[in-house]
Amino acid sequence: MRCGFPAKEHTGKDYNERFSRFFRLFIEIDQVEGLFPRQCRVCQTTFAGMAEYCSATKPKAHCFEDCRGVDSTPFMMVYRHCSCGNTLVLTLGEKAFPSLDSFWQMLQDEAEESGRTLKEVVTDFTDQFDRYLLSLNNPCAKRAE
């Protein structure tokens, strides 16, 4: 069974408006050919798509790493913990996430305007995105314990 999201997007006052604009973009990542399914190398758990990947794992620290300046091809890393404890890494370039630059700019703007560090803002985004996933009536939205 491939896990997906309902067509209707419902974000409300519980989510930072800047953040919620990017929730759907992350959800649509599982439509990029070759990213999913993904499998944990340790326990062999298979994640059919982004919904299952994020819902069945826990974020590692602040979860996202901006690697746009590392190579000539901009990308970011997404770190999550599988329920077995293994760290899973998803690499997202501009092909998989065309809004890469605007996403990081939004996070930086939020950090500057709120007086928080970028790490704090990224953690806040991750927490709100995970809550958003859980709020959807999705059979794959079961949080790793």
Reported confidence tier of residue 2, pLDDT bands at 50, 70, 90: very low
Domain span at 30: 17-130
Tally of domains in the chain: 1
Whether residue 83 is contained in a domain is answered as yes
CA distances in angstroms from 86 to 25, 29, 32, 45, 128, listed in the order given: 26, 22, 24, 11, 23
Whether residue 47 is contained in a domain is answered as yes
Whether pLDDT at 125 is above 90: yes
Whether residue 12 is contained in a domain is answered as no
Whether residue 104 is contained in a domain is answered as yes
The pLDDT tens digits for 93-116 are 888 889 999 999 999 999 999 999
The gap between the terminal CA atoms of the chain, to the nearest Å, is: 22
Whether residue 136 is contained in a domain is answered as no
pLDDT of residue 138: 53
